[in-house]
Amino acid sequence: MIVLSSGDLEAIGLHGEASYPEECCGFLIGRAEASSTVVERVLAVENEREDSRHNRFLIAPETVLAAHKEARSAGLDVVGYYHSHPDHPARPSEFDREHAWPGLSYVIVSVQGGKVAEARSWRLADDRERFEEEAMLQKDIGQKEAV
How near is the Cβ of 119 to other proteins at its closest, in Å?
Answer: 15
Answer yes or no: are the C-beta atoms of 28 and 4 closer than 8 Å.
Answer: yes
Q: Would you tell me which residues interact with other proteins (CB under 8 A)? A: 23, 25, 32, 51-52, 55-61, 64-65, 77-79, 81, 83, 85-86, 88, 91-104, 106, 126-131
How near is the Cβ of 145 to other proteins at its closest, in Å?
Answer: 28
How near is the Cβ of 54 to other proteins at its closest, in Å?
Answer: 9
Residue in 23, 70, 98, 145 annotated catalytic:
23
Can 23 be counted among the known catalytic residues?
yes
Three-point CA angle 92, 94, 97, nearest 5°: 70
The catalytic residues are: 23
